[in-house]
Amino acid sequence: MSNSSYYDYHPTIQLERPVVLGGMPGTPYREVGHYLASLTGLSILDLDRWLEHQVGKSLWDFVQSEGEEALRQKEFEYLERALAAQPRGLLIVSEGTLAQAANRRKIGESAGLVYLSSAPTATYWHVRQQISERGPRYHPHVPQPLTHFDVLRPLFEELDRAQEDADLVLAMDNRSVQDAVDVIFDALPGLHTARSDGGT
């Protein structure tokens, strides 16, 4: 056996186009994405974390100093770059990204979208609890202060459109992360993918 063969990197699946994972605030789309990446060997990019690295601060702090419009411009720029990257991989996007019509169009043109849904009222209470425990920076795309359900209504209306555009929708209210990963893995061929090992 050659010295390099142990370290050769061969994902078990080869994507013909990227697969984007996102969903309602508080759903575990990041955890699902990383679990799926470890299972398949696919590359994975979290758009929010990449943006934070590029601007040198948290998204919350960037919005406070530069404004929401500046974030949206950066977001669209880096989304385009991520969707065009080779080799094709998994891309995690937040509810803030999916709430923008231009981003949804760009994703629809070149990627498969997996959307994790949850009941709006359950989402509201879950996000409120997370903000009270971890602070508002934990949900930089959620309007603050989150004093009542109607604060989230405009975001939910935009996310409804993202859900309508999705190639696969998973209701997460009574579904485990493991189950979601299993469903997405089985659905990958229908998300315009081909297995590099011939499907065995």
Residue with tokens 């013909």: 16
Domain ranges of the chain: 14-189
SS3 196: coil
Q: Look at the chain and count its residues.
A: 200
Residue indicated by tokens 């930089």:
140
Among 28, 192, 195, 23, which residue's Cα sits nearest to residue 111? 192
Q: Cα separation of 2 and 158, whole Å?
A: 53
14-189 — its CATH code? 3.40.50.300
Residue with tokens 């969903």: 23
Do residues 154 and 141 touch, judged by C-beta distance below 8 A?
no
pLDDT in 10s for each residue of the chain, 200 residues: 444 444 455 567 788 999 999 999 999 999 999 999 999 999 999 999 999 999 999 999 999 999 999 999 999 999 999 999 998 999 999 999 999 999 999 999 999 999 999 999 999 999 999 999 998 888 889 988 999 999 999 999 999 999 999 999 999 999 999 999 999 999 998 886 544 444 43
Instruction: Give strand pairing partners of 171.
Output: 117
Classify residue 56 as exposed, middle or buried by CB count within 10 Å of its CB (0-12, 13-18, 19+). exposed
